[in-house]
Amino acid sequence: MATTQDVERAREQAYLDRLYTRLDEVRQITRDQLRGVLLAVGTGTPQSVVERDVFAAAHADRLARLDAAEGRLCFGAMDHTDGQRTYIGRIGLSDSEQEPMLVDWRAPVATAFYRATLADPHGLLRRRHLRTRGREVTGIADDPLSGALGTDPSPASDAAESSGTSGTSGTSGSSGDSVLLEALSAPRTGRMHDIIATLQAEQDRVIRARANGILVVDGGPGTGKTAVALHRAAYLLYNDRARLDQSGVLIVGPSPVFLRYIDQVLPSLGETGVVFATPARLFPGVEATGTEPVEVATLKGDPRMADVIAAAIRDRQRVPSGGLNLAYDGMTLRVSQDRVARARTRARRSRRPHNGARRVFLRELLAELTNQVVRQVPGGLLDQDERRQITGDLWTDDVVRRALDALWPLLTAQQLIGDLLHQPAVLARAAGNHLTPAERALLTPSPSPSSASASAHADADDDLFAPANLLTPTQPTPQPQPRDLASGRIPHPRIPGGAATAGGSATAGGATGEWTPADVALLDEAAELLGDPDEEAGLEAARRAEQERAEEREYARGVVDMLGLDGQIDADALADRWAGPRTRRSAAEHASLDRGWAFGHLIVDEAQEISPMLWRLLWRRCPGRTATLVGDLAQTARPGAPTQWERLLAPVVDDRFTIERLTVNYRTPQEIMDVAAEVLRAQDPDLVAPVSVRSVGRRPTALRAGDVPVEQVTGLGPMLAQRPVLPGEPTAEVIAAVAHAAEREALRLGLGGHDGSAGSGRVAVIARPRDVQPLRSALIALMPELAVTPDSIDPTSVAGNALDAPVAVLSVAETKGLEFDAVVLVEPADLLAEPTRGLADLYVALTRATRSLCVVHSGDLPDMLRDGLDPA
Ligand SMILES: Nc1ncnc2c1ncn2[C@@H]1O[C@H](COP(=O)(O)OP(=O)(O)OP(=O)(O)O)[C@@H](O)[C@H]1O
């Protein structure tokens, strides 16, 4: 005989079938519409082509959203007190009569699903969670929200529990809680998933918070800040699509590994109009891969650097003492020091960026030089055209040109910052009272030969302007420029060496000779004050156009494929048709290439790590200052970083922000959190760790290096014992203990079958930066089936692919924002001794695990860890 559960489940299955049938219908309709638009002949006018493309893009986007809704289309239902039932899901769907069948989780009516409680039922009698696998209902869990229904689990929720999918300790009150705990206890896959089925009320409030202004979401580890930020992006796109599709949303995360970790969340919610970036990639054309000591990066992020850069630019706008003396066409032209100074003042007062103001400066001086030539021409008065001719001749004269360029050169950000960071004399002139001698020494350790030659002109002083030096061989001869004097415009010269768009390793700032992430903010500050040289803009536009073309072709091929139009329409021809004025699809793509792009909304994860200089860059990217900033000040690694949001944000946005706090830790079990809380207290006794939502019934453990005989670690023990250890490298005992602990955690998770079929779950070995590579190499050798992913053979891609390996070795910085089923933490005392804020790093490392933690140590454990760890 059918039970109540069977009946309920059958009823829900029938409804789910209807929803999927409708989804398939709408997909087919959308596909037909898209096909119709693409094959339509049209009138051929530019307007009709644009209209058609707009329609095509809209249909293609809708189709993509419908496709993304296939998995877990519907996950819940609400029974209202008036007898109505509302189903809630990934997207909204209506039947052919336009009667609503499914409500989008972002619609206002869905708020009740997330916020209703017994105390405040939001007009609901019951909330129902549907578990599904593919298109099948596998379980039901009900939260009665009215006294009339009682608070005992309903028969339907018994069905849910009997589905065998729940199974955590610490279950609490409602069936909804068991659904949440089930989601939280699932093995990690190395990728974050959307949480629309189990969003909690405090998270929902943040997601739906007012879009205007700046919202700071503060919360301890695992409180769902990242998840909330991503869902808020989806919510904002849903609510304000017209505006945000045009302008785009920029999401900034701490590392490439982190961006990979979160990159599936928004597509799974059907949203693609978002640009993801790490701070290292925020300056178009530069990939900042260099590294440098923490104290150097910290200094580069100091707001005083803005003054230094401004001063460095002013330093390149020069007035020679004694004025200019130029030999030209058998004449001697003299421009007094005062006259040059006046031209400089006028140019500065024009309030244009350096490269734009240069026109004013040149125009002034060329007018003066032209007058002098005219006065020396026998016969006297000349007409306007003749005067213009003289100005043009002066401008193309090498001596004149070089002299004027030296006074007010056309500069790229790369040149300016490269000189500043490699030329102590340049930095000394610019730093003035802004930096101490010790700070200057930190920034310009020792000039590299390449940077010295690239910046030879930077050391120019008054001698450079003496006539004898005007053709100094260290300066490349400027290229002849097309005349544009008829229009009265003075063309920019080419930038010597074509350095305009170079990512620039020659003048880059890091210890490794490459730009570092901290340089990015300096480059952007400089670019803002310099303005884009025309040529730079031209090259940039060409590069952008080429990239867009490639993307158009790729996209068109996808559309042709998706619609089965192969053979009927040529993808490249289709891409050509799209090549006109672009629709909203390109907004995000354009934005990522364009420094001047104004995003409609900015989301910053791990916002506590953003330096003052980087904030300046970020606000330039989002001048409307509508932003969601998520972070935890207790996790700040930056030495000297503020411990209050007010102090962190005030320099740029005053108090124009609101703070929302998340208080529940969904990731870290209570037993691990107890240990982490001690570390937090050591940072500041007033700080309070978030409450963990679950416990696992097992305390974290400590394993002393040396307790695991080196020979016992797999078959490679003897080899390991003989391995020469360089000073400061992990010893064989430490490696053996780490390998032992990682293997044990992996086995516990059922990972690493010898047939290569790893189970699910992830283990992270977290160590100080310099131990990462040796430990990674050792584990790859010791446990290839666990530590190697196909791509991790390539050392440059190890970090990017770290999440694909069952066991990953990472630094604390690399694990920021991530989570793993199990963590092996190596030498916590070493973390505390690092130049970053050691206690904060330790706190971050301890809070990455969802299930288990093992601490490997060779010396004594730090005091605050002693009581909370059991022997392994
Ligand atoms: N309502 C929820 N339902 C299911 N899972 C959730 C929920 N809230 C958070 N989680 C999960 O908890 C984990 C931690 O979330 P998240 O990474 O967003 O936290 P965080 O606050 O950014 O942490 P940290 O500051 O440590 O980086 C993630 O796996 C996330 O999916």
pLDDT tens for each residue of 683-696: 888 888 999 999 99
Q: Which atom of ligand 1 is nearest to the CA of 184?
A: 5
Q: Are strands 214-219 and 136-144 parallel, antiparallel or unpaired?
A: unpaired
Q: Which atom of ligand 1 is nearest to the CA of 632?
A: 25
pLDDT surpasses 60 at 46? yes
Query: What pLDDT score does 540 carry?
Result: 52
> What share of the chain in percent tops pLDDT 90?
52
Measured at the alpha carbon of residue 332, what is the angle toward residues 329 and 335, in degrees to the nearest 5? 120
Residue type at 330 in one-letter notation: G
Task: Quickly tell me which residue has 């739906």 as its tokens.
Answer: 208
Q: Which atom of ligand 1 is nearest to the CA of 224?
A: 18
Q: Which atom of ligand 1 is nearest to the CA of 199?
A: 1
Q: Which long-range contacts (CB under 8 A, 24 or more apart) does 707-711 make?
A: 707/737, 707/872, 708/733, 708/736, 708/737, 708/740, 709/736, 710/736
pLDDT surpasses 90 at 98? yes
pLDDT surpasses 60 at 582? no
Q: Find out whether 226 is annotated in a ligand binding site.
A: yes
pLDDT band at 449 (very low <50, low <70, confident <90, very high): very low
pLDDT surpasses 90 at 36? no
Residue minimizing CA distance to atom 24 of ligand 1: 221
| 33 vs 537, residue with greater confidence | 33
pLDDT surpasses 80 at 778? yes
Q: Does residue 456 contact residue 431 with C-beta atoms inside 8 Å?
A: no
Q: Can you read off the two tokens belonging to residue 499?
A: 């350095």
Q: Which atom of ligand 1 is nearest to the CA of 188?
A: 29
Compute the distance from residue 828 Cα to the ligand 1 centre, in Å.
Answer: 24
pLDDT tens-digit profile of 334-381? 999 999 999 999 999 998 999 999 999 999 999 999 999 988 877 766
pLDDT surpasses 80 at 634? yes
Compute the distance from residue 227 Cα to the ligand 1 centre, in Å.
Answer: 6
Q: Does residue 625 contact residue 641 with C-beta atoms inside 8 Å?
A: no
pLDDT surpasses 90 at 829? yes
Q: Find out whether 221 is annotated in a ligand binding site.
A: yes
pLDDT tens-digit profile of 128-149? 999 999 999 999 999 998 765 5
Measured at the alpha carbon of residue 748, what is the angle toward residues 668 and 756, in degrees to the nearest 5? 115
Mean pLDDT over residues 565-570, rounded? Answer: 67
C-alpha 128/C-alpha 85 separation (Å) is: 10
Q: Can you read off the two tokens belonging to residue 444?
A: 């310009």
Compute the distance from residue 195 Cα to the ligand 1 centre, in Å.
Answer: 9
pLDDT band at 708 (very low <50, low <70, confident <90, very high): confident
Residue type at 441 in one-letter notation: A
pLDDT surpasses 60 at 407? yes
Q: Which atom of ligand 1 is nearest to the CA of 221?
A: 26
pLDDT surpasses 60 at 791? no
Q: Which long-range contacts (CB under 8 A, 24 or more apart) does 554-558 make?
A: 555/585
Q: Find out whether 222 is annotated in a ligand binding site.
A: yes
Q: Find out whether 868 is annotated in a ligand binding site.
A: no
- How many residues appear in the chain? 872
CA atoms lying within 13 Å on the CB side of residue 482: 3
The secondary structure element, H or E, covering residue 55 is helix 46-68
Mean pLDDT over residues 577-583, rounded? Answer: 48
Query: What pLDDT score does 797 carry?
Result: 44
Q: Which atom of ligand 1 is nearest to the CA of 666?
A: 12
Residue minimizing CA distance to atom 27 of ligand 1: 817
> What share of the chain in percent tops pLDDT 70?
77
Lowest mean pLDDT among 169-178, 555-564, 589-598, 769-778: 169-178
pLDDT tens-digit profile of 196-226? 999 999 999 999 998 888 999 999 999 999 9
pLDDT surpasses 60 at 676? yes
Q: Can you read off the two tokens belonging to residue 561?
A: 């494929």
Compute the distance from residue 193 Cα to the ligand 1 centre, in Å.
Answer: 10
Task: Quickly tell me which residue has 């002393």 as its tokens.
Answer: 704
Measured at the alpha carbon of residue 98, what is the angle toward residues 96 and 102, in degrees to the nearest 5? 95
Residue type at 867 in one-letter notation: D
Compute the distance from residue 146 Cα to the ligand 1 centre, in Å.
Answer: 30
Crossing angle of helices 534-562/4-39, nearest 10°?
A: 120
Q: Can you read off the two tokens belonging to residue 659?
A: 């703070």
Query: What pLDDT score does 723 carry?
Result: 60
Q: Helix, strand or coil for residue 522?
A: helix
Residue minimizing CA distance to atom 14 of ligand 1: 222
Query: What pLDDT score does 158 carry?
Result: 40
Q: Can you read off the two tokens belonging to residue 486?
A: 């008829």
Lowest mean pLDDT among 62-76, 275-289, 348-362, 468-482: 468-482
Compute the distance from residue 74 Cα to the ligand 1 centre, in Å.
Answer: 22
Q: Which atom of ligand 1 is nearest to the CA of 200?
A: 1
814 exposure class (CB count in 10 Å sphere: 0-12, 13-18, 19+): buried
Compute the distance from residue 254 Cα to the ligand 1 centre, in Å.
Answer: 16
Q: Find out whether 223 is annotated in a ligand binding site.
A: yes
Q: Helices in 253-303 by DSSP H: which ranges?
A: 256-262, 265-268, 294-300
> In this predicted complex, what is the ipTM?
0.99
Sheet of strand 136-144, all strands in order from the earlier edge strand to the far edge: 93-94, 100-104, 85-89, 74-80, 124-133, 136-144
Compute the distance from residue 629 Cα to the ligand 1 centre, in Å.
Answer: 16
Q: Find out whether 170 is annotated in a ligand binding site.
A: no
Mutational pocket test of ligand 1: of 819, 842, 850, the residue with most ligand atoms within 8 Å of the beta carbon = 819
Mutational pocket test of ligand 1: of 184, 255, 692, the residue with most ligand atoms within 8 Å of the beta carbon = 184
DSSP 8-state secondary structure symbol assigned to residue 501: G
Residue minimizing CA distance to atom 26 of ligand 1: 221
Compute the distance from residue 422 Cα to the ligand 1 centre, in Å.
Answer: 43
Query: What pLDDT score does 642 carry?
Result: 82
Query: What pLDDT score does 60 carry?
Result: 86
Query: What pLDDT score does 147 carry?
Result: 65
Q: Which atom of ligand 1 is nearest to the CA of 848?
A: 26
Query: What pLDDT score does 84 carry?
Result: 95
Task: Quickly tell me which residue has 């001596």 as its tokens.
Answer: 399
Query: What pLDDT score does 567 carry?
Result: 67
pLDDT surpasses 90 at 665? yes
Q: Which atom of ligand 1 is nearest to the CA of 228?
A: 18
Query: What pLDDT score does 576 carry?
Result: 62
Q: Which atom of ligand 1 is nearest to the CA of 847?
A: 26
pLDDT band at 446 (very low <50, low <70, confident <90, very high): low
Mean pLDDT over residues 297-320, rounded? Answer: 96
Compute the distance from residue 738 Cα to the ligand 1 centre, in Å.
Answer: 27
Mutational pocket test of ligand 1: of 207, 217, 636, 667, the residue with most ligand atoms within 8 Å of the beta carbon = 667
Measured at the alpha carbon of residue 858, what is the angle toward residues 856 and 860, in degrees to the nearest 5? 100
Q: Find out whether 225 is annotated in a ligand binding site.
A: yes
How far are the Cα atoms of 49, 63, 558, 673, 676 from residue 572, in angstroms, in the given order?
16, 21, 11, 56, 56
Residues 6+ apart with CB under 8 A from 746: 752, 761, 763, 783, 786, 806, 807, 822
How far are the Cα atoms of 182, 193, 306, 584 from residue 732, in angstroms, in the given order?
40, 38, 47, 57
Residue minimizing CA distance to atom 25 of ligand 1: 221
CA-nearest of 563, 746, 745, 676 to 56 is 563
Compute the distance from residue 818 Cα to the ligand 1 centre, in Å.
Answer: 9
Compute the distance from residue 640 Cα to the ligand 1 centre, in Å.
Answer: 27
pLDDT surpasses 50 at 585? no
Beta-bridged to residue 169, according to DSSP, are none
Compute the distance from residue 157 Cα to the ligand 1 centre, in Å.
Answer: 25
83 φ/ψ angles, rounded to the nearest 5 degrees: 90, -10
C-alpha 120/C-alpha 97 separation (Å) is: 34
Mutational pocket test of ligand 1: of 666, 668, 818, the residue with most ligand atoms within 8 Å of the beta carbon = 666
Query: What pLDDT score does 225 carry?
Result: 97
Q: Does residue 194 contact residue 231 with C-beta atoms inside 8 Å?
A: yes
Q: Find out whether 727 is annotated in a ligand binding site.
A: no
Mutational pocket test of ligand 1: of 114, 181, 195, the residue with most ligand atoms within 8 Å of the beta carbon = 195
pLDDT surpasses 90 at 488? no
pLDDT surpasses 80 at 483? no
Residues 6+ apart with CB under 8 A from 711: 717, 718, 721
Lowest mean pLDDT among 165-174, 188-197, 202-211: 165-174
Compute the distance from residue 665 Cα to the ligand 1 centre, in Å.
Answer: 8
Q: Can you read off the two tokens belonging to residue 764?
A: 């992270």
The ligand 1 site (C-beta within 6 Å) comprises 180, 183-184, 192, 195, 198-200, 203, 219, 221-227, 632, 666-667, 817, 819, 847
pLDDT tens-digit profile of 115-130? 999 999 999 999 999 9
